[in-house]
Amino acid sequence: MSAASGQARARLLIDSKCTLGEGATWCAASGRLYWTDIEGARLWRYDPGERKSVSFAMPERLACLALCADPHYLLLGLASRLAFFDLATGEIETIAEVEPGLPTRVNDGRCDREGRFVFGTKHDVEKAEAIGGFYRLNRDLSIERLPLPNCAISNSIAFSPDGTKMYYCDSPTRQIRVCDYATFANDRVFTELTDATGEPDGSTVDSDGGLWNAQWGGARVVRYASDGRESARIEVPSAQPSCVAFGGARLGTLYITSARVGLNDRALQGDLRAGGVFIATPAARGVAEPVFSGRT
């Protein structure tokens, strides 16, 4: 399959059975994959060299994460707050609460090319309404709300390779948006899902500027070229792919998390690998994941 056209099929790598797998993040320095089971309140790590995965209990639901300039730490987007996590001791240091007093929680998040953490929230109820927002944790640990529309379920946060464009979405709208990142001007629809099923979930970009999006309920990952047109598709043998990250020695492996939440017993009988981590090898290379460059 080429990055420009065609289809491929992902295969199961780790049968982790996460309730809500998310936040796929590749650490090039350690050669390891991190992800989270949000509803299981666990941080996961996989070492391809050892072919071994481990998980760590969290004090509350862990929605997203980022690498830090100090490799001994991770930046955590916990349900109610941002925090630093000491990988050696397990100590958690709270940075700040997020939207206190609102029935929301932290959801998607990625670092921009300048090492600041951009994240969004979601209305934490079954029928979510657009009361959440998008924020940025700056290097001095101040948090600012970004001038973007309110959202019900923030997702698809990603940045073009040169850092000049930001992608994001409110999943129920089935649209992925893009804006000029420095000013947040020229905010517009980048692409809209037209398949009968699926909502946009987590995204990442490749070195050619293509956006790879996991499509919840659609059993697929779709690549969109810089003009928003679909240019490749990966079939995922599970209904709810949730997030994607390029990893491996040359950033040529696409890791895909998935979820079991919301699937009844009958659906799970037909989707036995739900909640696992899948991989595919498209003819594309990723971009190294930026690290949070603020204080740890």
Q: Considering the candidates 37, 108, 170, 201, report the single residue annotated as catalytic.
A: 201
- Which residues neighbour 256 within 8 Å (Cβ) at sequence distance 6 or greater? 10, 24, 214, 221, 234, 236, 241, 243, 244, 277, 278, 279, 280
- Which residues neighbour 173 within 8 Å (Cβ) at sequence distance 6 or greater? none
DSSP for 103-144? SEEEEEEEE-TTS-EEEEEEE-SSS--S-B-EEEE-TTS-EE
Residue 201 bears catalytic tag: yes
105 is in an annotated binding site: yes
Q: What angle do CA 109, 42, 123 make, to 5 degrees?
A: 45
155 is in an annotated binding site: yes
How crowded is residue 286: how many other Cβ atoms within 10 Å of its Cβ?
25
201 is in an annotated binding site: yes
Question: How far apart, in whole angstroms, are the C-alpha atoms of residue 1 and residue 234?
Answer: 10
**Residue 233 near residue 223, CB atoms below 8 Å:** yes
Question: How far apart, in whole angstroms, are the C-alpha atoms of residue 7 and residue 149?
Answer: 34
140 is in an annotated binding site: no
**Both ends of the chain: CA-CA distance in Å?**
41
107 is in an annotated binding site: yes
Q: Which residues are annotated as a binding site for substrate?
A: 105, 107
Q: Which residues are annotated as a binding site for a divalent metal cation?
A: 22, 155, 201
Residues belonging to the active site:
201
Q: Which residues are annotated as a binding site?
A: 22, 105, 107, 155, 201
